[in-house]
Chain A
Amino acid sequence: MVADSRIAGTVRTAGRLNSPRPALVEATGAGVPRLVNRHSVAVVREEWRVVDRWWTEEPLVRRYFELVLDSGQNTVVFRDEERSCWFTQRA
């Protein structure tokens, strides 16, 4: 697109809220987390999958777990199946 010659307006770049953050997770053979950021998992409350953007060049395949850690903290982690790594996020 031809560069705009108007008076320079303000450009605001919208940022993502609740972006995933890398997490250190040890999982069982079935892929269920047992350690998250060096805290043991006390309870696996829920598990679900998100498969989206499969029609694009960046498909999204995630396996989510809602967990309660031994410290009592409630956390959500997911494994990105495309990149084979774990993230934590508020779901």
Chain B
Amino acid sequence: MGGDPEAARGRGHRGLPAEAGCAFFETRGVERLYGGVEPALKRALAAVGPTWDARIGAAERKFTALAAANVAQPGQLLVVADDRSREFLAPLPLDLLPLQAAQQQELKELGVRRLGELAGLPGGAVAERLGPDGRRAWSLARGGERRRVRGRRPPSELVERLEFPEAVGNELTLRRAFAVLLDQLLARPEREGRFARKVAIAARLVGGASWRRTVTLRDPTAERDRLRAALGPKLSEIPAPVLELRLELVELTDHTGEQLELLKVAGGELDGRLSEGLRQVRASTGSGSVNTVVEVAPWSRIPESRALFVPRDD
């Protein structure tokens, strides 16, 4: 199995690292569904269609798969067995490797022009000559590591963040800030009445570290108390003072709806009129003009640390 590297170069294949127009994916989960890796990949190729001249390379190792995709013709699928990986890579050119042009030139001047020639050298000598990049290239020339492909985490649908003027380590203060963020997130018009299926709370900590916890709800909801019960206890797990607190609705349902109450909560009409009044004030004075005072540390001896005002744009 393999391709003619000169012919491949004539087709204009490009070297590593993987860039726009290149995607890696695992087939383990769908091979049984389609009757094997080749039928699964043929299905994937058919789904992409002929417009993009897609090529697929498959192997147990990521670099070998990428090399196979580079060698394959448009519309072609090339599968490389793991025990044939080094044999397949051997005749391929160095420009498949993530090396700078100067490093590739240095290897060519030493008479190394193919991946097989590089793979045959002692790894220590390559590392000494070309540094960590050279060591990595040498490892890839031998097939690279066998690692699982980890999919990119999709972006959250809605996010609200609150930055603190100074780091906050007090859990009660964080709970109050969390309550403010939750109210603002649920009031976002982009939510369009949809329910939260998956939520996350995250923080930027003193020292540059970050912290995040995700909760998938058994029943999607937009009820404030249920969301607070799901995420609130996580605040006690934050390991360091917080500079920024973030609340995310990671996944929302497709269906919308309004959860009606059998009996109106006392004062509900007044809240509605107050909200409408605030909206009118905001409309006439601009964003940032309406704020909520949040008591964060009323026991503090420093007066300006007892409460914060948080802009409300809902």
Contact = CB atoms under 8 A, between A and B. Distances in A.
Majority-rule SS of A interface residues? loop
A85 interface: no
A15 B165 contact: yes
B109 to A, nearest CB: 38
Contacts of B311: 12-13
A7 B208 CA distance: 22
A27 interface: no
A91 B156 CA distance: 42
A12 B310 contact: yes
A18 interface: yes
Contacts of A84: none
Interface in A29-74: 50, 52, 60
Interface residues of B, number: 34
Size band of the A side of the interface? 20 to 34
B159 interface: yes
Majority-rule SS of B interface residues? strand
B191 to A, nearest CB: 12
B302 A14 contact: no
A14 B188 CA distance: 19
A1 B209 CA distance: 7
B303 A14 contact: no
A6 B156 contact: yes
Contacts of B310: 12, 14-15
Given A1-B204, A12-B160, A12-B310, A89 B304 contact: yes
Given A9-B246, A50-B302, A52-B301, A14 B158 contact: no
A13 B244 CA distance: 9
B257 to A, nearest CB: 23
Nearest to B156: A6
A60 B302 contact: yes
A12 B163 contact: yes
A17 B159 contact: no
B282 to A, nearest CB: 14
Contacts of B204: 1
Contacts of A91: 303
15 contacts: A1-B204, A1-B208, A7-B155, A7-B157, A7-B159, A9-B158, A10-B188, A10-B313, A13-B163, A14-B162, A15-B309, A15-B310, A16-B305, A17-B306, A20-B304
